[in-house]
Structure 1
Amino acid sequence: MAKQDRAVRTRTALIESAAALFDSEGYELASLSTISERAGVSSGALHFHFTSKAALAEAVGQAAVQRLEGITRPQVDDALQALIDVTHALVRALDDDVVLRAGFGLSDSIERVRVAAGLRDKWQGWVEDSLGQADREGALASEGAAQDAATALVAVTAGLETLGRQDEWWLSHAPLTRFWQLILPRLAEPSRLDVLVASGSKGGAPGL
């Protein structure tokens, strides 16, 4: 059991080390020797767990998918408020969680990282499903609003992710709150506007 625990810790350390280097240096420049050194393990231990840099990147992608799945478990029944809450949780995690951030960064390397390549698609699919549920609940102002809002929201979160790599302010609470304040009067059924919280409802998502 102790040996298994040690193997799990080593694998986790390598994934986190790789994520940090992929995030800061990019996939191409990150070397396996630097990854193993940063993780505090030998080169042999790295190759025992991962046969190549692509396999290690795949593991980072899988870990990022798991983190995203955790974030997209809403804590409130109202689909539109849950969407607001989860977007705030995602943006906060992009600031705090290097594995998630690296996973989104790797999602552009489709030929190398199959799981990570689906990360943006998973996010888009969840957004579309949530807005579809909000539409069925009668929470949206007009027919067709769900698809338009999904397009805008996926673009905005991708933009915040990209801008946040240069300036952490973009991954703070304010920009996303301002976006929701702008879009909700056009998106939500008017009677819902007084109950929706653009800044995220307390307890509505992990960390809010």
Structure 2
Amino acid sequence: MVKQERAQRTRTSLIHAAAEVFAQEGYAPASLTTISRRAGVSNGALHFHFANKQSLAQAVEDEAVASVARIIRAARPAGGCVLQALVEATYELMSRLADDIVVRAGFGLGSDRARAGGSGPRRDWERWVGEMLRLAEQEGRLAEGVSGRSATHAVVATTVGLEVLGGEDPEWLSRRRIAGIWELLLPHLRSEIRS
């Protein structure tokens, strides 16, 4: 039991260290030696848990995907307010991108061209946003002339832009900045309240 706990702590430490290195340097220049040093473990310990850099990057990305899945599950619309669920999920995603290096690195790895494979959490986010906005369209909650598809493009482009810009300046991920963006977007997306 103690060995398993120690192994899990080492694995978690390696994922976190890898996320830091991938976020700072990118996938291609990141070295396993740098990652193992940052985690405070030997190269042998790293290779016990991960066969290569690709498998370590996949573990970082998988953790980010799991985090996005938790955000999505928590944001299921209660009482039929799909757009409010979308707004709340956006706040939570941006908060995680600001505060959780594994989530931030996972998003970056998903779009890193130097890395083969990897679907990334961005795709899951895009899929969920699309589902929510199609549902809003079916329920007549989108403004006249706004399709679920065009709304999805706008929201995903905005959130991905925030993610990228937030990597350079964390202010882009602040609640204040996100509130300002939603104040601009929502009136154009939302239909008038019907009685």
TM over 0.5: same fold?
yes
**Helix, strand or coil at the partner of 1:109:** coil
- Report if the CA contact (8 A) 1:149-1:187 is conserved: yes
RMSD over equivalenced CA pairs, Å: 1.6
Is it true that 1:22 corresponds to 2:22 in the alignment? yes
- Report if the CA contact (8 A) 1:91-1:171 is conserved: yes
- Report if the CA contact (8 A) 1:60-1:99 is conserved: yes
The structure with higher relative contact order (CA 8 Å, sep 6+) is: 1
- Partner AA of 1:154 in structure 2: V
Q: What percent identity do the matched residue pairs reach? A: 48
Which runs of 4 or more aligned residues in structure 1 lie more than 4 Å from their structure 2 counterparts after TM superposition?
none
**Closer/same/farther in 2, CA of residues 75 and 108 from structure 1, 3 Å limit:** closer
Q: For residue 166 of structure 1, what is the aligned residue in structure 2?
A: 168
CA shift digits 1:130-176 (9 cap, x unpaired): 11122233321225431111101111111111111221110101222
Residue correspondence of structure 1 range 42-81 to structure 2 within 5 A: 42-73=42-73, 74=75, 76-77=77-78, 78-81=81-84
Provide the rounded CA distance (Å) in 1 between the counterparts of 2:35 and 2:43: 9
- Partner AA of 2:151 in structure 1: A
Q: For residue 181 of structure 1, what is the aligned residue in structure 2?
A: 183
Q: For residue 98 of structure 2, what is the aligned residue in structure 1?
A: 95
Aligned residues between the structures: 191
Provide the rounded CA distance (Å) in 2 between the counterparts of 1:113 and 1:120: 16
CA shift digits 1:51-76 (9 cap, x unpaired): 11111101111111101101112154
Judging by fraction of residues, say which structure has more helix.
2
Q: TM-score, normalised by structure 2?
A: 0.91
Is it true that 1:114 corresponds to 2:129 in the alignment? no
Q: TM-score, normalised by structure 1?
A: 0.86
- Partner AA of 1:171 in structure 2: L
- Report if the CA contact (8 A) 1:20-1:102 is conserved: yes
Q: Where in structure 1 are there 5+ consecutive unaligned residues?
A: 193-208
Is it true that 1:133 corresponds to 2:127 in the alignment? no
**Helix, strand or coil at the partner of 1:112:** coil
Q: For residue 108 of structure 2, what is the aligned residue in structure 1?
A: 105
- Report if the CA contact (8 A) 2:142-2:189 is conserved: yes
CA shift digits 1:102-122 (9 cap, x unpaired): 01111123673533x342221
